[in-house]
Structures are given as structure tokens and as C-alpha cells.
């Protein structure tokens, strides 16, 4: 699971060995029938093998040796295609084996009553069912996916996420989901099992990397149809050549009809074996890349849809901005010295351990040189923030009472003592809001000292990430509970295209539905339970692994790194998957041009000697021409396995430019490459005197 695996070479000996054996096992017709293109090759291989034995018995249509040569290369074509698939699966299997190791049959402490302290029996994890409650104590492995119903504990989730720092899991709130296979490091948890055996997160991952549960994606189905049609067309074009050839021989009065072996060779060369053979490998490798990016997708469909996303909804907090705001300025009232405001603000925040509080202390020290004092030396009593008062502060030993809080809370507070807000203060408060900040008013008794400007801090580098998304054609929308003024300011600073302010679960859902009915494909990342309805509605929904069970279930992908901008990687992987298929399809069909020029003159030159003129590659003999084309057709599969497994590289650029580049490489390249390849193989065959 570690990222270091990415660096592993594509051709790892421990994978190649079993892959070779697998590629022979996959010759089973029941396996081949799933892929019509390769099934045709199988039938052709069997047919030519039969013709070889017929030739051995002395009644063959051509010398046994030349039939054997073609027949064996047809078998190689099949084996190479199987090898590509086996390689991709092998890489997946290696990862699955890693994952499985974490799924040793763990003992579980199944509670009779869902409360701490009640009796439990030790059972095997496999016997647990949805709804059971288990006790997990320090050192235990969490037996199955579930929700914490009681307790707080630190959990080591490195087996799943590869992140070594332990995370806190607790009941209620957004951090109550635990994953089977992870280990509790301290304290204890009561966990309600949320899935039956075989349906857990780990099972999903294993199934996905092994390709066992891989369903064909919509585009894959459409492509299979297209490939099947090409296969049928070429089947017709070659089968009908037999009567055409018979007629031509009669009409010309000399020559012999084309052999079935040559027709089979022609057929196999023409049908899109390159893409047909590599198609399963491309799909498996795509899922594999997702896993390497630490993303678990519940379906291939979602991965493919990710490539089409054109709108991305992101939560502001924690995604676009750092999770907390920071003090950036003190704005004193007219009659107040700025230093005394800074001083008061600092004292009020000394015991405030929230990031906002810390940032006030830091600002006071950095900008006004007010040294940090310890709360004990002031003989002060800290008044913590409560939901009722919505302010915090200190009561000093000398009787001073300093409070800081939201404008409304402090206004109520000073009014109590007969104080009031000046117009000047009010305009300061409004100005801060307008600029995307949050005003925090500081007061001492009934005197308002001034305002602290708190500001959301946009994460470093996020602007560039959004610019990249824009180049991919994806529009970004920020979702926030802030008022529209603040939201607009932050969205502008982060370089987002749009925002949804004062968002509620309902408005989020409504926004997504509107976008979708306008024909857009919406992606969203989220982690909270209140994100779940919107995640369920979005086309591509990435839940954070740190998020709640509800969020994970609503999404169709889970990001184990809980990195909200991971969507960029996901989009790239989705696009790569399609691009690799498209490019190899183009390459495969473009190849046919040269194969015609190799095989057609060779097949009919006996009947019409003038057809020599079409042998533009000047291939040595008819039989070497046919064999060279077949060998090229088989070898190209092997050569393209690395491309199929790595994927065609994706760079954001306009669709038109991208198409032009890929057409040049795979279209024009696809026409030219086999001319060179076939000629080379023919020269080698001729040099080694391997054919007549």
C-alpha cells in the first residue's frame, strides 16, 4: 500500500513468473469468449493447428512448416495478450496479498449488551454480523468496519492509509468511523459493526485490486461494441476473400486459391488484437493506479466518470483555508491606544488554546512587542468560551474584566453595563466582514477597546491547484457557511470560480441538482454526516477517510489520505484510463494499413503476378511477408504492455491540442510503425533463412 510501490519496476520477477503460468491458463476458451477479439484469435489458432496436422498427414494446403510457423505465432499472440492481463492482475494481487495480511482472522470481544463493562464472549471476527457491538481495547485489532458508540481511543490506521501517525476515534461527531484491520493503541472503544463479512472496506479494496469484482464501465462497453464491429467487418472481409480468390483463379486461368492459413493470418492481423489484447490490462492497471493514489473507488464507473467532471464542489474549511482563522490586525477605537488594545487582547487570549487565540498572542508579540505573560503571574481567572455567552476572556486579580467575542455577544455584554457601540466601531466591523475577515470585539467592562481582525488563511499552493483544474475544464465552487461577503472575498483570494454562501445541506443538494439538470457532471468532496445527502447526489463523491461512516457510504470513493484536492489525481487517472484505450484503439486500426500491403500482394500474387507492384515494402517472399506481419502483430502487444500498465500521460491542455498530439503519436505513428517493424522482421527472417 505504500507509495514506494509506485517506484517498483513494472517488470518485477515475482510478478512475471506467475503471470507466465497464468497466461497459459487463460487460454481456456471459457475465459477467451469474454473478449470477442481474442476469441477469434483462439479459433484461428486452433484452426491453423488443425491445418498443420492435416499437412503433416500429406494432404495439406501448404507446406507443414509454414503453417506451423504461422500457427505458433498466432498462439503467441494469444499468450502475449493473456500475459498483459496476468501482469496487471499480478500487480494487483501483490497489493491484495499485503492487504489480506492485515485481515488475519482476528478474535473479537462480542458484547452481550452495548455498554462498557458488560460481559463479552471471544468470537472469531468472521462470525460478526452487522449490528453486533464489540469491545476493542488497547493493543486489539478492530475486527470489522464499524461506528464507535462509546469511548475515545487513538488508533493506528497505517495498515490502510499508510499514515503512521495515530488518529483519534471517538463516539458521536465526525470521527466515529473505524476500519477493520486497524489497531487501537490506547484506551478502549465500543464499536457497532456496520458491515457483514465480505462487505467491508478491506474486502472492497482487495476485490478492486484483484479485479475480481470489476464490472465493465459504460465507455468500456461502448468500446467493446466498436471492437466487435471491427472484428465482424474484418471477418467478413477475409472470409469472402476465399470465394473471391476462387473466382479470380478461374477467371485468370492460373494460380491457386488463397490458403485458409493465410486468410486466418490476415484476419488476426486486421482485427484489433492490440487493443483487444490489452483492454483488460488497461482497466485493471487503471484501478491499480487509483489504489496507488490511496483512493478506494466502489466502482470503475465512478473512476471513469471522474474523467468527465466539469464542476467541483469543495468545502471551504479545511480544504481551501486552513481549518482556523488567524488574527491579522488590531483596530482600536478612536480614544484607545493601539498598544492597550493589543495588550488587552493578548491577556484575554492567554488561556485560549484555540488556534485563533494563539494567533492573537503571536500577533501582539510580533507587531507590538508585547511579551507573552503567564496567566498565573497575573492572578487571573480564565473565562472560557461557551455556546451561551459566545465570548471568552479573563477576570484579572485587579478586578479588570476583559472579554472578546463576536460583535453581537460583546454588544450585549457592554450594554449590560450601560456601554454602547460607536458608529466608528460599527463601520470597522462591517469593513472587516466585507474583506472576508471575522471581527472579534474586545471590551473591558463597558468600554469597547477595539476590534481584532481574524482572517481565513488560504492554503499555500491551492490557487495553482485550482488553476490546473481550470485548465482541465473543471469549474470550482466553494461551499461555506459564511455570509456572501466573506465568501466572495475568500473565493476570490483562492482563485475559485464561484461560491455557495450560507450553505445548508438543503442548499448544497439543490445546487448539485441544478448543475446536473444543466448537463454538468458534479464532483464533490466531503467528510461530515451533513455532507452525506449532497455526496449521494453528486456524480463523483469523494469521502475523506477521516470522515463519518455516513459520508463514506454516501460517496463512491474514499480518499485514504483525506486530501480534498486529491480529486485532481482522480480526474487524471480517470482520463488516463480512457485515453489509453482510445490511443491504443487508434493505433490498432491504423496498423492495418501496412498489414494489408504486406499480406494482400503475398496472398494473390500467384493468381495475378502484377500484384507484385503492391509489395511496396519489398518483402522477401510471400510467405515471409505473411509471417512477418503475424510476428509484428504478436510482438507489438508485448511492446505496448508498459504503456497499457502506466497509461498514456495526461497533461491539461485544450481538447483540440490534446487530440492533435495523440493523433500524431498513435494515429500517424500507428500507420508508420508497422511498415518499419514488418520490414525489419522480414529482413531478419530472410537473413536467418527462416522462410522460403
Partner 1 sequence: MNWNNVIQGLIFLATVILLAKPLGIYMARVYEGKPAGLNVLLGPVERWIYRLSGIHPETSMSWKGYAVAMLLFNSIGIVVVYALQRLQAHLPLNPMSMSGVTPDLAFNTAVSFATNTNWQSYGGETTLSYLTQMVGLTVQNFLSAATGMAVLVALIRGFIQKKVETIGNFWVDLVRSTLYILIPLSLILSIILVSQGVVQTFKPYEKVTLLQPVKNDNGTVVQEQVLALGPAASQVAIKQLGTNGGGFFNVNSSHPFENPTPLSNFLEVISIILIPAALCYTLGYMVRDKRQGWALLAAMLIIFIPCLWSCIYFEQQGNPLFNSLGIDQKATAFQPGGNMEGKEARFGIVNSAIWAVATTAASNGSVNSMHDSYMPLGGLIPMWLMQLGEVVFGGVGSGLYGMIAFAIIAVFIAGLMIGRTPEYLGKKIEAYEMKMASLMILIPPALVLAGTAVSVSLHQAKVSIFNPGPQGFSEVLYAFSSAGNNNGSAFGGLSANTPFYNIALGLAMFFARYWLAIPILAVAGSLSRKKIVPVSQGTLPTHTPLFIIFLIMVVLIVGALTFFPALVLGPIVEHLMLHHS
* 462-491 residues near partner 1, rule: CB under 8 A: 470-475
β 540-544/557-559 pair status: parallel
Question: Within 13 Å and on the Cβ side, how many CA atoms surround 474?
Answer: 29
Closer CB to partner 1, 219 or 292, in the complex: 219
For partner 1, the closer CB: 212 or 659:
659
Task: For the chain, state the CA radius of gyration.
Answer: 34
Residue nearer to partner 1 on the CB measure, 445 or 520:
520
The helix (H) or strand (E) run that includes residue 679 is: helix 669-687
Q: Is 491 in contact with 362 (CB distance < 8 Å)?
A: no
> Could you say whether residue 585 binds partner 1 (CB under 8 A)?
yes
Rounded-to-integer distance, Cα 384 and Cα 353, Å: 10
Instruction: Point out the catalytic residue in the list 132, 315, 482, 682.
Output: 315
> CA torsion sign, 150 to 151 to 155 to 161?
positive
CA 443/CA 449 separation, integer angstroms: 5
**CA–CA separation, 396 and 609 (whole Å):** 111
- Cα(first)–Cα(last) distance of the chain, in Å? 53
Among 195, 586, 623, 628, binds partner 1 (CB under 8 A): 586
CA distance 304 to 283: 10
CB of 230 to partner 1, least distance (A): 8
Q: Is 666 in the site for partner 1 (CB under 8 A)?
A: yes
Q: Smallest Cα–Cα separation from 395: which of 468, 362, 444?
A: 444
Cα separation of 188 and 169, whole Å?
10
Q: Does 498 bind partner 1 (CB under 8 A)?
A: no
Residues counted in the chain: 692
Please state the closest distance from residue 236 (CB atom) to partner 1, in A: 5
Choice from 1, 241, 320, 522 touching partner 1 (CB under 8 A)? 241
**Span 591-610, contacts to partner 1 by CB under 8 A:** 592-593, 596, 600, 604, 608, 610
The CB-of-517 to partner 1 minimum distance in angstroms stands at: 7
* Interface segment toward partner 1; rule CB under 8 A; list 44-52, 112-120, 242-250, 434-442: 242-250
Task: In angstroms, give the least distance from the CB of 306 to partner 1.
Answer: 10
Minimum gap (Å) between residue 655 Cβ and partner 1 = 4
- Rule CB under 8 A: is residue 520 a binding residue for partner 1? yes
Sign of CA dihedral 204, 207, 211, 212: negative
What is the nearest approach in angstroms of partner 1 to the Cβ of residue 439?
39
Min CB(498)–partner 1 separation in Å = 14
Q: Is 461 exposed, middle or buried (0-12, 13-18, 19+ CB in 10 A)?
A: exposed
Number of residues this chain uses to bind partner 1 (CB under 8 A): 78
Instruction: In whole angstroms, give the CA distance from residue 336 to residue 341.
Output: 7
Question: Considering only residues 303-362, where is the footprint of partner 1 by CB under 8 A?
Answer: 304-305, 307-308, 310
CB of 232 to partner 1, least distance (A): 6
Cβ-based neighbours of 581, under 8 Å, separated by 6 or more: 219, 220, 223, 275, 279, 282
Which one of residues 270, 361, 479, 626 is an interface residue with partner 1 (CB under 8 A)?
A: 270
Q: Does 658 bind partner 1 (CB under 8 A)?
A: yes
Stretch that binds partner 1, among 18-26, 287-295, 490-498, 516-524 (CB under 8 A): 516-524
User: What's the min distance (Å) between Cβ of 168 and partner 1?
Assistant: 39
Using the minimum distance from each CB to partner 1, give the nearer residue, 330 or 597.
Answer: 597
- Single out the residue of 4, 9, 251, 386 in contact with partner 1 (rule: CB under 8 A): 251
Instruction: Tell me which DSSP letter residue 215 carries.
Output: P
168, 185, 221, 467: which one contacts partner 1 (CB under 8 A)?
221
Residue from the set 575, 643, 645, 677 that interacts with partner 1 by CB under 8 A:
575
User: Given candidates 234, 330, 421, 675, which one binds partner 1 under the rule CB under 8 A?
Assistant: 234
C-alpha distance from residue 258 to each of 57, 249, 255, 580, 622 (Å): 20, 9, 9, 36, 12
Q: What is the largest CA-CA distance in the chain?
A: 123
Q: Is there binding between residue 243 and partner 1 (CB under 8 A)?
A: yes
Residues of span 149-208 touching partner 1 by CB under 8 A: none
- Asked if residue 260 binds partner 1 (CB under 8 A), the reply is no
Q: How many angstroms separate the CA atoms of 293 and 621, rounded?
A: 51
Should residue 254 be labelled a site residue for partner 1 when binding is judged by CB under 8 A? Answer: no
182-209 as b/e: b if 16+ CB within 10 A: bbbeebbbbbbbbbebeebbbbbbbebb
Q: Which of 6, 461, 517, 688 binds partner 1 (CB under 8 A)?
A: 517
User: According to the binding rule CB under 8 A, does residue 447 interact with partner 1?
Assistant: no
Which one of the spans 62-70, 74-82, 244-252, 386-394 is the region binding partner 1 (CB under 8 A)? Answer: 244-252
Of residues 46 and 226, the one with the C-beta less far from partner 1: 226
Looking at the DSSP bridge assignments, the partners of residue 136 are 189
By the 8 A CB rule, do 571 and 308 touch?
Answer: no
* Contact criterion met (CB below 8 Å) for 388 and 382: no
Question: Please, is 400 exposed, middle or buried when counting C-beta atoms within 10 Å of its C-beta (0-12, 13-18, 19+)?
Answer: middle
Judged by CB, which is closer to partner 1: 149, or 226? 226
- The residue among 609 and 642 lying less far from partner 1, judged by its C-beta, is 609
- Residue 274 and residue 629: Cα distance in Å, rounded? 13
Of 33, 138, 229, 467, the one binding partner 1 (CB under 8 A) is 229
Please tell me whether residue 276 binds partner 1 under the rule CB under 8 A.
no
- Residue closer to partner 1 by CB (options 173, 218) is 218
Minimum Å gap between C-beta 34 and partner 1 is 17
Q: Which listed range, 28-36, 198-206, 390-398, 659-667, lies at the site for partner 1 (CB under 8 A)? A: 659-667
Report 613-632 residues binding partner 1 (CB under 8 A): 613-614
Helix (H, G, I), strand (E, B) or coil at 115: coil
315 given a catalytic annotation: yes
Residue 287 beta carbon to partner 1: minimum distance, rounded to whole angstroms: 16
Q: Tell which one of 659, 680, 684, 690 touches partner 1 (CB under 8 A).
A: 659
Question: Among candidates 556, 475, 579, 478, which has minimal Cα distance to 522?
Answer: 475
The residue among 602, 668, 573, 599 whose CA lies nearest residue 303 is: 573
Q: How far is the CB of 237 from partner 1 (least distance, A)?
A: 6
Q: Which of 3, 381, 426, 660 binds partner 1 (CB under 8 A)?
A: 660
Q: Name the residue nearer to partner 1 (CB basis): 389 or 662.
A: 662
SS (H, E, C) 171-191: CCCCCCEECCCCEEEEEEEEE
| Catalytic machinery residues | 315
Amino acid at each position: 500500500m505504500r507509495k514506494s510501490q509506485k517506484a517498483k519496476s513494472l517488470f518485477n520477477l515475482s510478478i512475471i513468473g506467475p503471470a507466465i503460468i497464468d497466461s497459459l491458463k487463460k487460454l481456456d476458451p471459457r475465459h477467451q469468449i469474454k473478449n470477442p477479439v481474442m476469441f477469434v484469435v483462439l479459433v484461428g489458432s486452433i484452426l491453423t493447428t488443425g491445418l498443420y496436422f492435416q499437412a503433416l498427414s500429406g494432404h495439406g494446403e501448404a507446406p507443414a512448416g509454414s503453417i506451423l510457423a504461422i500457427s505458433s505465432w498466432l498462439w503467441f499472440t494469444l499468450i502475449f495478450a493473456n500475459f498483459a492481463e496476468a501482469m496487471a492482475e499480478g500487480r494487483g494481487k501483490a497489493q491484495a496479498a499485503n492487504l489480506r495480511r492485515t485481515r488475519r482472522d482476528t478474535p473479537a470481544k462480542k458484547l452481550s449488551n452495548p455498554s462498557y463493562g458488560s460481559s463479552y464472549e471471544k468470537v472469531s471476527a468472521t462470525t460478526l454480523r452487522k449490528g453486533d457491538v464489540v469491545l476493542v481495547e488497547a493493543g486489539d485489532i478492530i475486527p470489522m468496519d464499524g461506528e464507535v458508540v462509546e469511548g475515545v481511543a487513538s488508533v493506528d490506521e497505517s495498515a490502510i492509509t499508510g499514515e503512521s501517525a495515530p488518529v483519534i476515534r471517538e463516539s458521536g461527531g465526525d470521527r466515529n468511523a473505524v476500519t477493520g484491520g486497524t489497531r487501537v493503541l490506547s484506551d478502549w472503544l465500543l464499536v457497532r459493526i456496520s458491515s457483514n463479512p465480505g462487505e467491508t472496506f478491506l474486502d472492497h479494496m482487495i476485490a478492486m485490486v484483484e479485479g475480481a469484482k470489476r464490472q465493465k464501465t459504460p465507455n468500456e462497453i461502448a468500446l467493446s461494441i466498436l471492437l466487435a464491429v471491427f472484428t465482424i467487418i474484418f471477418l467478413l472481409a477475409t472470409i469472402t476473400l476465399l470465394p473471391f480468390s476462387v473466382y479470380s483463379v478461374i477467371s485468370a486461368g492460373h494460380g491457386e486459391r488463397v490458403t485458409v492459413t493465410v486468410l486466418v493470418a490476415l484476419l488476426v492481423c486486421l482485427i484489433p488484437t492490440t487493443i483487444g489484447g490489452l483492454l483488460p490490462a488497461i482497466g485493471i492497471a487503471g484501478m491499480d493506479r487509483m489504489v496507488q493514489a490511496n483512493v478506494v473507488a466502489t466502482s470503475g464507473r465512478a473512476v471513469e466518470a471522474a474523467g468527465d467532471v466539469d464542476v467541483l464542489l469543495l468545502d471551504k474549511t479545511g480544504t481551501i483555508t486552513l481549518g482556523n482563522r488567524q488574527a491579522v490586525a488590531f483596530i482600536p477605537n478612536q480614544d484607545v491606544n493601539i498598544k492597550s488594545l493589543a495588550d488587552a487582547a493578548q491577556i484575554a487570549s492567554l488561556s485560549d488554546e484555540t488556534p485563533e487565540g494563539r494567533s492573537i498572542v503571536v500577533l501582539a508579540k510580533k507587531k507590538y512587542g508585547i511579551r507573552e505573560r503567564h496567566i498565573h503571574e497575573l492572578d487571573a481567572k480564565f473565562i472560557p468560551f461557551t455556546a451561551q455567552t459566545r465570548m471568552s476572556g479573563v477576570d484579572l486579580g485587579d478586578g479588570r474584566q476583559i472579554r472578546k467575542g463576536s460583535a453581537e455577544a460583546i454588544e450585549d455584554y457592554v450594554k449590560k453595563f450601560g456601554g454602547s457601540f460607536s458608529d466608528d466601531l460599527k463601520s470597522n466591523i462591517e469593513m472587516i466582514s466585507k474583506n472576508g475577515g471575522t471581527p472579534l470585539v474586545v471590551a473591558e467592562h463597558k468600554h469597547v477597546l477595539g476590534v481584532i481582525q481574524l482572517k481565513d488563511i488560504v492554503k499555500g499552493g491551492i490557487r495553482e491547484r485550482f488553476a490546473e483544474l481550470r485548465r482541465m475544464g473543471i469549474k470550482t465552487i466553494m461551499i461555506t457557511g459564511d455570509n456572501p461577503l466573506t465568501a466572495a472575498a475568500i473565493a476570490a483570494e483562492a482563485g475559485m470560480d464561484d461560491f455557495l454562501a450560507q450553505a445548508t445541506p438543503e442548499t448544497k443538494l439543490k445546487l448539485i441538482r441544478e448543475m446536473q439538470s444543466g448537463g454538468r457532471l458534479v464532483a464533490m468532496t466531503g467528510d461530515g454526516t451533513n455532507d452525506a445527502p449532497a455526496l449521494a447526489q453528486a456524480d463523483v463523491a469523494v469521502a475523506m477517510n477521516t470522515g463519518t461512516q455516513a459520508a463514506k457510504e454516501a460517496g463512491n470513493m474514499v480518499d485514504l489520505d483525506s486530501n480534498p484536492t486529491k480529486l485532481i489525481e482522480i480526474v487524471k487517472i480517470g482520463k488516463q484510463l480512457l485515453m489509453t484505450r482510445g490511443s491504443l484503439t487508434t493505433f490498432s486500426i491504423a496498423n492495418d494499413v501496412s498489414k494489408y500491403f504486406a499480406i494482400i500482394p503475398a496472398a494473390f500474387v500467384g493468381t495475378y503476378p502484377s500484384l507484385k507492384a503492391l509489395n511496396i515494402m519489398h518483402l522477401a517472399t510471400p510467405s515471409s511477408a505473411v509471417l512477418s506481419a503475424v510476428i509484428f502483430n504478436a510482438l507489438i502487444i508485448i511492446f505496448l504492455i508498459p504503456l497499457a500498465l502506466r497509461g498514456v500521460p495526461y497533461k491539461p491542455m485544450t481538447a483540440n491540442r490534446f487530440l492533435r498530439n495523440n493523433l500524431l503519436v498513435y494515429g500517424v505513428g500507428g500507420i508508420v510503425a508497422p511498415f518499419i517493424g514488418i520490414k525489419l522482421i522480414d529482413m531478419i527472417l530472410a537473413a536467418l533463412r527462416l522462410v522460403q
